[in-house]
Structures are given as structure tokens and as C-alpha cells.
Structure 1
């Protein structure tokens, strides 16, 4: 993934971006370069210390130079397949040293909220995070 430009969407607690994508596979005679517009929220996964995408919505998926049959297939199946592929995608792996102080205090990241100024990461007790 290249360096995408992110748009903050505080009203829906999500981020939105355009990403370059490549379409290829055994059913295609060639690969196609394109772009995808995607909207998603963020969540922290304590089991593997990752920040993951969730509530993923693919808003558009376009490929340059695709013949009509490929374009039709992409418009029919592409957004759903791309959403499924990106759901729970690990965007960042938190290094143990980045949470060393929090760990020593029995704390960990909690909910991640999108605000007009950026991201707000709640810090919660590890026991509180495990409760439903």
C-alpha cells in the first residue's frame, strides 16, 4: 500500500482514502492498474497489538483500460470482495516498547475515535477492555 491521503470523517467515526490497486489473476489475460475509494473505522486488537480496519465500505473501484467484460465483473463483484478482503486488515502493528509504560500500569489502547483534529485513542484498564 502506498502512502494514501486520509480524510477524517468524525460524523461517522471513519476515515476515507483513495488507494492505488492492481487487478490480476488466472481468469484475466493481463493485469489492470486502478484506484479504489474506501471508507473505514479503526479498532485496536489487543491479542496481537494491531490497529485494524473495520466497518469497511468500498465506495468506488475503477480500473484503467479494462475491457467491458472485466469492467462489468469488477462493478458487480469487486466492491464486495474488496470490502471483505480489507475487513480486519492490520494497518499498524504496535511495537511492545510503544506500550511498555501502559503495560506496566495495566492499561492498553481502547476505542479509537475520529475527531476533526485527528484520532483520539482511549486508554483503558486491561480488565475493562476484556468485559463485554
Structure 2
């Protein structure tokens, strides 16, 4: 008698283009410490770090400060944690973390100040970034089967959402 294959769990894939569109809606961001530094962060490029199961963005950074002759331009790589929020049926990026700040041509003190200001700006990002909101139709069949969105798996070309058995209250 042949062994039965384990049943596959329902899945839903969110393409990279939709993730980028949702993330882009939050930018540009501006942050100022008057008399010290002004930052503008915008124009995200999506990072899909499948090996680390992380979603991220490369953000364009412009800094202006009295100590800088010209505005300084660079990039900041930001990584996000991912979660499913059952109360409004959304997949969210949250807890932004500046992974790498790169502003070429600046001295160590100026670079350090911009890194700190960038981290402060990201900590002030209000709320999570909603990447996807499930429709009633998308959840109807999994719900009847006793499943809900659970495992979030970053792929090279998007986000795979694996449905898991519903938690019993």
C-alpha cells in the first residue's frame, strides 16, 4: 500500500510589485532636529531577502546640516519584520530597523550624526506598513476549511503566505 502524501496547506502569493507599491505609499519621510540636521528619506527599492526571510527597502537619503557645505546624499537599507494582523486581516511590515546607512564623502562625525538621525526617523514611523489586506473572497475557502494566514515566507519575487490551522480560543 502506497503512503499518502501529506496534504498541502492553502497558500496565497503577494507579488513583489504589490509589496513595493504598498511600501512606497509611506514615503517620502522628513525628520528635522532644528539647527542640527534635516533628513528626507524616499524613493524605496524593494529588498526581498529570501535567505533571511526578511523584507527590506533601499531608501534614498538626503541630509542637510549647518555643518555641511552641500546636502549629503546616500542610501539607507531598512529591514522590516512581518506579521499577520487578524483583527483587520492584513499582512504588515513593522519594526523598521536601519541596517546600513551609506553617505559617501562625509567624515566620521557627520556620518555618525546622520546614522543616528536616520534611526530616530525610522523609530517615529507611525504604525505598521500594510502590505496586503485580504478580501472576504480570498479568505472564504480557507476559513471554511479551518485555516487562517500564518507563515509568512519571503521569496525572490514576492511573499508567500501559508495558511495554518486556526487557533482555538
TM-score if structure 2 supplies the norm length?
Answer: 0.51
Higher helix share: 1
CA shift, 1:110, in A, is 0.2
Please tell me the root mean square deviation across aligned C-alpha atoms, in Å. Answer: 3.9
Compared with structure 1, are the counterparts of its residues 42 and 11 closer, same or farther at alpha carbon in structure 2 (3 Å cutoff)? Answer: same
- Return the alpha-carbon distance in structure 1 between the equivalents of residues 155 and 47 of structure 2: 11
CA shift, 1:46, in A, is 1.0
Q: Is the 8 A contact 1:44 1:51 kept in 2?
A: yes
Structure 1 residue 44 corresponds to structure 2 residue 84: yes
Structure 1 residue 111 corresponds to structure 2 residue 140: no
Count of matched residue pairs: 121
Match of 1:27 in 2: none
Structure 1 residue 102 corresponds to structure 2 residue 142: yes
CA shift, 1:51, in A, is 0.8
What does residue range 1-132 of structure 1 map to in structure 2 within 5 Å? 1-2=24-25, 4-19=44-59, 36-59=76-99, 74-85=114-125, 88-116=128-156, 118-127=158-167
CA shift, 1:86, in A, is 6.0
CA shift, 1:14, in A, is 0.5
Unpaired stretches in structure 2, ≥5 consecutive residues: 1-23, 26-42, 64-72, 104-110
CA shift, 1:36, in A, is 4.5
- Return the alpha-carbon distance in structure 2 between the equivalents of residues 102 and 115 of structure 1: 22
Compared with structure 1, are the counterparts of its residues 22 and 10 closer, same or farther at alpha carbon in structure 2 (3 Å cutoff)? Answer: same
- Choose 1 or 2 for highest CA Rg: 2
Say which SS state the counterpart of residue 125 (structure 2) adopts: helix
RCO higher in structure (CA 8 A, sep ≥6): 2
CA shift, 1:53, in A, is 0.9
Unpaired stretches in structure 1, ≥5 consecutive residues: 24-32, 64-70
TM-score if structure 1 supplies the norm length?
Answer: 0.61
